[in-house]
Amino acid sequence: MPPPWRVRPLGPNVGRIRIVHAVPSLVGERKLTDWIAAIRINLGHNFLLHHILEEPKPAQLRKARYQRGHISVYCLIRNSIQPMIPVLRHAGYDVDGGGFGFEPKRLWDVVLSVVPGSTDRIERLKFDLIMQLTHTRADVFSSLFGYFERVNGAWQLLGSLGISPPEKFIQTVIINGIEVSERHGRTVDPQLLEQMKSMNYNVFYDTLRQFI
């Protein structure tokens, strides 16, 4: 199963953001980590992450589809930072109407520059997610489904933060987690587990689904 930031949205609403992860309101440093992750995972899911990572080329801005995505990203960020508006005004930024020229990257960069600890929080989040991937024990979950969801969720969030461990790495993490698990080690036949190591990820996932 491909992670959500690799699933291309379909249909007539391709220019609109399909919310796949609740975006909390940003209140100072409170919920900062959750806010950053939610924005990134939603934009990644909709193939719009580039709107906050790079300045658009003039030719892109002239394209209606790009412009729709551009405005959608700006509105998503703007609506989620309502509690921070007085702080941004106090810092000297014009946040009313088109004060940022409806440029999502500019608004994103300003928010992260004004809110204390943004960069540190992002790095801490990356570290925590990597630790979840490599140190989460399957035994603490009552089912293999719960274990798989935790590992897969950490993988998805890392992807939204610009770190994409290869599918083979995730596959190995999950198989090792099952092999060393006293609770779930016998759920999957050891010979089948050995075969699963050489499967491509899609076949591996379909096989694993039989047990979760």
User: pLDDT tens-digit profile of 160-179?
Assistant: 666 777 788 888 888 877 77
Same domain for 12 and 73, yes or no, is yes
Positive or negative: CA dihedral 145, 151, 157, 160? negative
Residue count of the chain: 212
pLDDT tens-digit map of 120-155: 666 666 667 777 677 677 777 777 777 877 787 777
Select from 77, 113, 122, 61 the least CA-distant residue to 92.
113
Structural domain count, the chain = 2
* Average pLDDT taken over every residue of the chain: 75
User: pLDDT value at position 7?
Assistant: 34
Task: Please report which confidence band the pLDDT of residue 20 belongs to, taking 50, 70 and 90 as the band edges.
Answer: low
Same domain for 97 and 124, yes or no, is no
Same domain for 67 and 151, yes or no, is no
| Distance from C-alpha of 85 to C-alpha of 178, rounded to nearest angstrom | 48
Q: Per 3-state DSSP, what percentage of the chain is helix, strand, and coil (rounded to 5)?
A: 60, 0, 35
Same domain for 24 and 74, yes or no, is yes
Task: Please report which confidence band the pLDDT of residue 16 belongs to, taking 50, 70 and 90 as the band edges.
Answer: low
Same domain for 9 and 109, yes or no, is yes
Same domain for 143 and 109, yes or no, is no
Given 96, 116, 136, the domain boundary residue is 116
User: Which residues constitute the domain of residue 194?
Assistant: 120-211
Same domain for 134 and 94, yes or no, is no
Same domain for 13 and 106, yes or no, is yes
Given 116, 145, 167, the domain boundary residue is 116
Same domain for 49 and 87, yes or no, is yes
Same domain for 106 and 198, yes or no, is no
Q: What pTM, to 2 d.p., does this model score?
A: 0.50
Same domain for 161 and 107, yes or no, is no
Least confident of 9-13, 39-43, 73-77, 98-102: 9-13
| Distance from C-alpha of 32 to C-alpha of 83, rounded to nearest angstrom | 12
Select from 95, 107, 103 the least CA-distant residue to 61.
103
Same domain for 50 and 149, yes or no, is no
Given 100, 116, 132, the domain boundary residue is 116
